[in-house]
Structure 1
């Protein structure tokens, strides 16, 4: 994938340069002249010149992402080889589009027979479009058939094949060594395929006659509103393809009108169906469906009850369903508005309306649409920033932001509500410069994916937090809530806000996690960000929090005297259909000082706590359910005689931890192979890093001195 600043010719030269080191019997590069499927695709998608029976298209990519499964070819881009007179393709990742005239929109077992050459082919992975299961993965083993050739026969159960994979494909084959985020580049990183035979395991069934379905979704006031919908046959849980009345959108560069809820991870989103495929509508939906009985699930974000309806489609009849969506809570009534800090869509003015309908379907009030960068360029381009880049419809808004700078060396940064994208390759590793510039624009800055051990955010945060260029940490994502680093920085005396981001399309659907913010006055993006900066915010995947200390809201700083009393009042409410509450906890200086368990399946827990305050402290509340529900408030700060909230009793541990992160960052060599967009970020990255290394090390040493001074001047 190349950005606007990299010509197609340069990119093809780059790919040839990447594949040369792994060539075993290379004859020539085999990509067509029109290789790129889209100029804004960060995956580096290339269409291969490879003819196979019943296959209309084969694509590969520098970073493979299909059916929710990632692959990291890096230097494993395909080459064409000739072995025993057979044309073969050697690579890490191949995604195949089956001829729609042969197989399309089915629910049957499909058999693949794969002819392979010896090196690295003993084990491989197939992912495919499967009915009911949204992230279908099969691990295959080949057997020798003589003269260095292997064969594997794999049955893809309940295959669907509706072109929903990478670049409109139906199944992928991946080398076992390339399906993990590691630096392993041995023979298991590539495999050599000569031929694939596809066999249908049953005759094509006669198509059922159809009837018409009409659906209207309305809010509590009777207004037609967008919603998320899943429709499933009661007989086998099959979901018919959405009609063209579903909202279409770009998923990376692929055109789609359906998605699926992630089924993997720590706490996947609740959905009352084994089939997790769904689509969005603007509130009015029509489709022609095969006759039969169906179950329909409709949702509209965590403030609404999930609707479940059974209906029957009869031949040549219209089934007209008017579904009222009911709230269990109305947060905007009390000036609380939700936001998702981390969404990626390429955005033009033309797509604003449809994107806003998707956001309304999930009831996210402020959606931060991030242009994403790496040292080689940017993706998910935004047509404008600031006021010009906002699109507002009622109390739902799209706001342009950036995820950039962004490296595996010291983390991914986010800047929200900025007026200009400051992508600058020349200073790329000097994060503090661009973050400080974004703050001058009035933006709000932070780190993504915190505490996930993906991109060395711990090193970046250790470096940037003391320099005052960080406002927030993305602690809630992918069904998880990570607080270790955040708690330690709070105990070091810094004020940092929690934020939640879905990271669509990489991790979750928009609004899967969100930040609620209390605003003053009417809803505007500016008031939302003002409220967020003030700290009156909490992150959640469903439960709703309230938290007061001496009647002051989340994020407040209380100036008290030693011996004064703090009075904490907190409450969590939860939609019991999604999860049953487990507990509500009060955390002071990183320790749980009070925990209230839910009783008798209650969907509300209240907590009260009084304490004489003896030292500066930070405090927050967090809630969890028995299965998936999570929420965490921002911190409230208590300062005694303006002493701050640094915790001397844990300072040795917390400061030394940051010093160790910085020493590791200073000593680490660049690991460019771990960059997700390796094909784009790698050219010249070593020279760029070496150019910045001395200045970075000076900053690291400067910040180590800050931590050492904290230790020296704040002995317990």
Structure 2
């Protein structure tokens, strides 16, 4: 055996810094030092910046990463028995988003509270509403029935997490109730009763935000139609560091002929989201990794919110709800129309088309594949980057219809789908509103299918009253979408 000592610092700075590390040998065995936070789902561990470990002889590989804003480090050692090895790793920033007024958050985390400080600092993640209540206490990772008065833990001025966020994840899908004062509990909870919307309703009645964790969950269009949703997860936990979970789990399956492969999974998620925008819903995006349950590190999928110099835990979520944001698991993406960023409105009070200027900038540590601008569901400009890592362009466009406009940027990747996507900028031409009948019909039929499955399942509910409570919500959603069809 040989002793390996590793020290991680930021370039031109002396103090050690937390980071995420992988160490493995030529046999494919991974190693985890004492005193670090191991995460075997992804074969990595979190260090505070220094560690030592006894290693067997042979080729040893090391990878060091720190979130999205630093270049990763990869190295190789030929370990000889009986020798000591001292390795200094210097991490270089390629971008400082906080200096630009953008702050990152991951709203889907299932990790132990006592790990959160090191996890967030290692990933340079600014905001984390840690999920400590999952499925009505059944799978809670911490017993927090006695809730501390201050539920926000301030690691430092720009890294903060909360300890009471709740996920309801059952047969109808998953919704996340953010930053609660107390858990939302029911006397009796089954796979389908109460409907997920009841959690949304109670959260909203008490002033809390609700995220529709993925748009393909069966009850998602019910939750949206009834006003239960503030954000929708588009870069979600099925998109992982090494692959994509290429199915909709127990949600509504996509047409894999129309949406094949990993890219098809993402395109389906985006099209489901765009249907809502095409009905006039002004719902911004979110991002989450489900670290603690799935293989993703904390913050692999994250949302950047533009706050300028007004960073606080509260302001970050206000910015998320307002849609001043983009989601990413790779590139950084900056987008504005006539100087207005995502979440803002472009207004033509006289009803005439807007002659607008679009500005788009994308940057990554990996080669970019393409950049797209989408207006009311249609790609109006697409740029091939020829493998460049930076892209910047301005162009003029006529916006003649009310609706929305977004940008998205894809990286080249042979393992997973890495991309960035902005929240919408909204377009208002006179008094006209966007309401695409095909989108209304799509979700009306979805809810009818959901109701038919419910009606046909005689064992789904314990009582007739429970059945009526749930199915009445489905019928309300059907009526809502049918009214939009006209």
Band the TM-score falls in, shorter-chain normalisation? 0.7 to 0.9
Contact 1:555–1:634, Cα closer than 8 Å, also in 2: yes
Q: Residue 396 of structure 1: which of 148, 159, 164 is its match?
A: 159
**CA distance 1:325–1:382, shift in 2 (3 Å):** farther
- The answer for the alignment partner of 2:214 in structure 1 is 449
Contact 2:231–2:321, Cα closer than 8 Å, also in 1: no
Q: Deviations over 1:439-468 (max 9, x none)?
A: 2433221222333xxxxx2x4122121222
Q: CA deviation at 1:216?
A: 1.2
Q: Quick one: distance in 2 between partners of 1:431 and 1:243? A: 42
Q: Does 1:643 align with 2:432?
A: yes
TM-score by length of 1: 0.59
- The answer for the alignment partner of 1:584 in structure 2 is 371
**CA distance 1:241–1:703, shift in 2 (3 Å):** closer
Q: CA deviation at 1:610?
A: 2.0
- The answer for the alignment partner of 1:668 in structure 2 is 453
Q: CA deviation at 1:389?
A: 2.3
Q: Quick one: distance in 2 between partners of 1:320 and 1:337? A: 34
Q: CA deviation at 1:547?
A: 0.6
Q: Quick one: distance in 2 between partners of 1:386 and 1:569? A: 45
- The answer for the alignment partner of 1:655 in structure 2 is 440
Q: Quick one: distance in 2 between partners of 1:571 and 1:670? A: 50
- The answer for the alignment partner of 1:264 in structure 2 is none
Q: Residue 170 of structure 2: which of 407, 410, 415 is its match?
A: 407
Q: Residue 575 of structure 1: which of 359, 365, 379 is its match?
A: 365
Q: Quick one: distance in 2 between partners of 1:685 and 1:710? A: 30
Q: Deviations over 1:568-619 (max 9, x none)?
A: 111111112xxx21110000000000001103x2101223332233221201
Q: Residue 20 of structure 2: which of 203, 207, 228 is its match?
A: 228
Q: Quick one: distance in 2 between partners of 1:423 and 1:543? A: 39
Q: Residue 607 of structure 1: which of 393, 407, 421 is its match?
A: 393
Tell me, what secondary structure is at the counterpart of 2:451?
helix
Q: CA deviation at 1:219?
A: 2.1
Equivalent residues in 2 for 1:266-665 (5 A)?
277-347=43-113, 351=114, 354-374=115-135, 377-381=138-142, 383=144, 388-394=150-156, 395-408=158-171, 410-426=172-188, 428-451=193-216, 457=217, 459-477=218-236, 478-479=238-239, 481=266, 482-509=269-296, 510-561=298-349, 562-576=352-366, 580-599=367-386, 601-627=387-413, 628-644=417-433, 646-647=434-435, 651-665=436-450
Contact 1:622–1:632, Cα closer than 8 Å, also in 2: yes
Q: Residue 259 of structure 1: which of 17, 26, 40 is its match?
A: 40
Q: Quick one: distance in 2 between partners of 1:386 and 1:422? A: 16
Q: Deviations over 1:374-432 (max 9, x none)?
A: 36845223637687222221222222344443321x22111112222112144742433
Tell me, what secondary structure is at the counterpart of 2:6?
strand
**CA distance 1:260–1:432, shift in 2 (3 Å):** closer
Contact 2:174–2:196, Cα closer than 8 Å, also in 1: no
**CA distance 1:385–1:474, shift in 2 (3 Å):** farther
In structure 1, list runs of 5 or more residues that go unmatched.
1-209, 248-256, 262-276, 452-456, 673-683
- The answer for the alignment partner of 1:686 in structure 2 is 461
Q: Deviations over 1:226-259 (max 9, x none)?
A: 11112233xx244453221322xxxxxxxxx242
Tell me, what secondary structure is at the counterpart of 1:437?
helix
Q: Deviations over 1:343-395 (max 9, x none)?
A: 11243xxx2xx332022222222122113433684522363768722222122
Contact 1:212–1:287, Cα closer than 8 Å, also in 2: yes
**Count of aligned residue pairs for this structure pair:** 446
**CA distance 1:260–1:708, shift in 2 (3 Å):** closer
Q: Quick one: distance in 1 between partners of 2:153 and 2:368? A: 36
Q: Residue 8 of structure 2: which of 217, 241, 246 is its match?
A: 217
Contact 1:345–1:380, Cα closer than 8 Å, also in 2: yes
- The answer for the alignment partner of 2:477 in structure 1 is 703
Contact 1:385–1:421, Cα closer than 8 Å, also in 2: no
Q: Deviations over 1:534-576 (max 9, x none)?
A: 2111111110000101101111122223233222111111112
Contact 1:297–1:306, Cα closer than 8 Å, also in 2: yes
Q: CA deviation at 1:487?
A: 0.2
Tell me, what secondary structure is at the counterpart of 2:300?
coil
Tell me, what secondary structure is at the counterpart of 1:223?
coil
Q: Quick one: distance in 2 between partners of 1:671 and 1:311? A: 62
Contact 1:557–1:637, Cα closer than 8 Å, also in 2: yes
Q: CA deviation at 1:671?
A: 10
Q: Deviations over 1:501-542 (max 9, x none)?
A: 111233232222111111243432212112111211111111
Contact 1:400–1:416, Cα closer than 8 Å, also in 2: no
In structure 2, list runs of 5 or more residues that go unmatched.
245-265
Contact 2:60–2:77, Cα closer than 8 Å, also in 1: yes
* The structure with more radius of gyration: 1
Tell me, what secondary structure is at the counterpart of 1:572?
strand
Contact 1:336–1:518, Cα closer than 8 Å, also in 2: yes
Tell me, what secondary structure is at the counterpart of 1:243?
coil
**CA distance 1:387–1:314, shift in 2 (3 Å):** farther
Q: Deviations over 1:626-680 (max 9, x none)?
A: 2242111101101122434x24xxx2211111111211222223899xxxxxxxx
Q: Quick one: distance in 1 between partners of 2:331 and 2:84? A: 39
More contact order relative to length (CA 8 Å, sep ≥ 6): 2
Q: Quick one: distance in 2 between partners of 1:609 and 1:710? A: 34
Q: Quick one: distance in 1 between partners of 2:126 and 2:390? A: 24
Q: Quick one: distance in 1 between partners of 2:182 and 2:357? A: 43
CA RMSD of aligned residues (A): 2.5
Tell me, what secondary structure is at the counterpart of 2:108?
strand
TM-score by length of 2: 0.85
